[in-house]
Amino acid sequence: MKAVVIRRFGGPEGLQVVDLPAPTPAAGQVLVATEAIGVSGADVAIRSGALASYGFQEGHVPGSEVVGTVTAVGEGVDADWTGRRVWAQTGAGGGCAEQAVAPADDILPLPAGLSAPDAVTLGSAGVVAHFGLAHARFAAGEKVLVRGASGSIGIMTVQLASRGGAAAVAVTTSSAARGERLRALGATHVLDRSGEGGLEAPGDFDVIVDVVAGAGLPSFFTRLAPNGRMVVVGAVAGQPPADFGTHLMASFQKSMSFATFSAATVPAAELRAVRAEQFAAAGRGEIETVVHEVLPLEQAATAHRRMDAGVVFGRIVLTP
């Protein structure tokens, strides 16, 4: 089978399409013939070498989210899954290939009316947005700021906050054109990447959902209202400064909260239930998925170059 391999850490030129043996599903796994493969910020970080300390090595096949047809099942898996089109989370990687294995607990059948690119764009991003807002204890009538709103997680957070009755949904983004697209998805105020601009935007926010992290994270503590909560759901700009907590302590009397959120901490049954609801809503047109572009598997390096350049709005999807 064809697969994308990280031959060497660094730029997208380190990616290579090679022939590999097709995987075999182990006990509790299924084999999926992929139809659509999501390209994520985590894939970019792994390819760059930034996550080598987490055990990722050169030779790794990236890709953690796919849509396709189950072609085989491992021991202990219901054979009725064979032949069904599913969304699947492969775990730490292996999805950027013509065939991929996934735990049977991490697959979900696709509803009618939801395309493969749409499903692979929504599958992970939607639950991170949902549970990230819940982790921040978001409630109707509150003001929300989404930092880094142009990716798939940010776009879903904007929509869910708006649908959840937020009094305001402000976004940070890199251009006026992106800002207008985010307004169409539910944003009420558009700020630049530093959080400035938008003269009519609220001066402070009850909830900040941060997909970016990086060096600029501490400056957003000043945008929190008393009892405000910031939740970091991604780190596309890397780690924050080592002393970022001192900035939070400087506003001790505002009783602000800081937290991180990973969907890995949510029970599998809850993830499945919310994901199924979101898939159904997207199939009915109630949630909009934003696919930036669909490219063939052989252009994985091109997809990563566009991610590096920061020109992607939504998600890039690869097809075998």
Distance CA 157, CA 173 (A): 14
Give residue 204's pLDDT.
95
Are 183 and 208 in contact by the 8 Å Cβ rule? The answer is: no
Are 179 and 190 in contact by the 8 Å Cβ rule? The answer is: yes
Are 205 and 231 in contact by the 8 Å Cβ rule? The answer is: no
Taken in order of first residue, the domains within the chain and their CATH numbers are 2-110+290-319 (3.90.180.10), 125-263 (3.40.50.720)
Q: Assess whether pLDDT exceeds 80 at residue 199.
A: no
Q: Assess whether pLDDT exceeds 90 at residue 189.
A: yes
Tell me if residue 275 falls in helix, strand or coil.
Answer: helix
Q: Assess whether pLDDT exceeds 80 at residue 128.
A: yes
Distance CA 151, CA 41 (A): 9
Q: Are strands 2-6 and 205-210 parallel, antiparallel or unpaired?
A: unpaired
Q: Assess whether pLDDT exceeds 80 at residue 226.
A: yes
pLDDT band at 113 (very low <50, low <70, confident <90, very high): confident
Give residue 77's pLDDT.
97
165-179 pLDDT, tens digit per residue, is 999 999 999 888 999
List, in order, residues 6 or more apart from 240 with CB less than 8 Å away.
213, 214, 215, 217, 218
243-289 pLDDT, tens digit per residue, is 999 989 999 999 999 999 999 999 999 999 999 999 999 999 999 99
pLDDT band at 125 (very low <50, low <70, confident <90, very high): very high
Give residue 178's pLDDT.
93
Number of CB atoms found within 10 A of residue 286's CB = 11
Tell me if residue 64 falls in helix, strand or coil.
Answer: coil
Prediction pTM value = 0.94
Q: Assess whether pLDDT exceeds 80 at residue 130.
A: yes
Give residue 92's pLDDT.
82
54-70 pLDDT, tens digit per residue, is 899 999 999 999 999 99
Mean model confidence pLDDT for the chain: 95
Tokens found for residue 273 = 């239930």
Distance CA 200, CA 234 (A): 27
Give residue 237's pLDDT.
84
Give residue 194's pLDDT.
83
76-112 pLDDT, tens digit per residue, is 999 999 999 999 999 889 999 999 999 999 999 999 8
Tokens found for residue 7 = 């031959």
pLDDT band at 52 (very low <50, low <70, confident <90, very high): confident
The mean pLDDT value for 225-251 works out to: 92
Q: Assess whether pLDDT exceeds 80 at residue 203.
A: yes
4-39 pLDDT, tens digit per residue, is 999 999 999 999 999 999 999 999 999 999 999 999
Task: Give Cα 91 to chain centroid, integer Å.
Answer: 14
Distance CA 62, CA 6 (A): 8
Q: Residue 82, by phi and psi: left (phi above 0), alpha (psi -120 to 50) or beta?
A: beta
Give residue 236's pLDDT.
84
Task: Give Cα 87 to chain centroid, integer Å.
Answer: 15
Number of CB atoms found within 10 A of residue 59's CB = 10
Give residue 300's pLDDT.
98
